[in-house]
Structure 1
Amino acid sequence: MNASHLLRVNLKRYFVVTVLLLPTAAVAIPCNTGLIGTASTCGISLLSAGSSDFHWQLANPYPTAPSGALINGSVVLPTLSFSPVFANVNAGSWMLNGPDSGWVVPSASFHTEFGGQYVYQTTFTGANPFGGRYSSDNELLGVFLNNTLLPGFPLNGPADSGNWTSFIIGSGLNTGSNTLDFVVRNRGVGGIDSNSTVTGFRAEFAAVPVPAAVWLLASGLLGLIGVTRCKIT
């Protein structure tokens, strides 16, 4: 058996064993907004307008607080009650729905809402770090992970409903259940809360690769090449 053939055989065996040993369960991260899904899946198709989003909720009654300071300036999310949130058409200034997410809004029938703070919540299981991107109308005031405000989270501004804002969450996660709350400020026409205007929220998420798994594969591969060379010599 020549050297190149021996190396190919050993590489094939290594990759088969490695794949069998690596975790096969899907990484648990939040589901994108506006998709058809069940309790165990996030879904890949857009919900029809007016349909409730199984994986997201909205604090009710809304607005939760005036559009001024973030939930009274607290770093801990107050106790809130939640009800369904709805997928719907995008307003003219928003990014078009699809292909991987859609806008969610407070009401099944798309219309203007009073100014104030709207809290969008999702729950998920697992402590794996993840990244994502979001857009909101008018702006994001803050994000709470497990009821605690995330410091330094990138906040979009009043004119960003046509753009994505990216982020990464790598700490503060539980191995069990987690809650993630996005607090969106809807500024009424003229900045007056008693006036109404359209508001909505949209988000997409992706797993962050686990460095340990990459290192395991790389170090094992280097070791295998070294052993093969020893056998040849």
Structure 2
Amino acid sequence: MLSFRASTQVTSPAAVEGRESLQKIYHLLEAKGFQTRMEGVGLLLDLCKTSPQLISSNIVQIFDYFLLRINDSHKKVKQKALEVLAEIIGLLEDALNPVMVRLVEGITKNLNSKDPGVHAAAVNALNKSIAHLELSHQWSQLSGEALLDVTERITVLVEWVYARSPEVVQRYALPVLWSCLENKALPVRSANVCAVVTKLACALCEVMGTQLIRCAESKPPHVQENLSSLLGW
């Protein structure tokens, strides 16, 4: 006769509390009332301080909600989210890597805001982000679909970041361009490969001018040829 031993999965109080905290954040961040959404932004900051591991372990899902508040329809929510983001970057550091490019992309959409509070908060958040992006050298090691995804996002950021910190663009955007021109993206079966790489090359050419040519001179001949072909030089 076979005997079966019943097994009971025990969930720790800390795990239960963590799930409840996350659900509360999600609920608050997508609430209809702007004051409630602001409360959600504040709660996220508190948890980044008190439970950074919880936030880090669920970073992608949490920031799917939080990114909406960076571009909230209510300027008070938007400003608070940007101000909180500047603090969060310093608290979570490398844990933000999976969402960092999306965050900076969201920040740049607010740099043209006519509201002085939103604009100032966006500038501060961008400056904090730039300092973090300097550490993201691993982007230059990407290939294939991941490289294309990063390339599309970086293109959006080049103009804004270069105006404030050109050395950062040269440090993290140029390696991505060189990676593309070294054919690392070409194995991807996508008709958009050339278009994506061309947009990045044109964006860099727009802000760097002839300096881009000088930077390319240190690269292999086929990289220089690919760049010239894309830009029509």
Of the two, which has the highest radius of gyration? 1
Task: Verify same fold: TM over 0.5.
Answer: no
Q: TM-score range by the shorter chain?
A: under 0.3
Q: TM-score, normalised by structure 1?
A: 0.24
Structure (1/2) with the larger strand percentage: 1
Q: Report the structure, 1 or 2, having the larger helix content.
A: 2
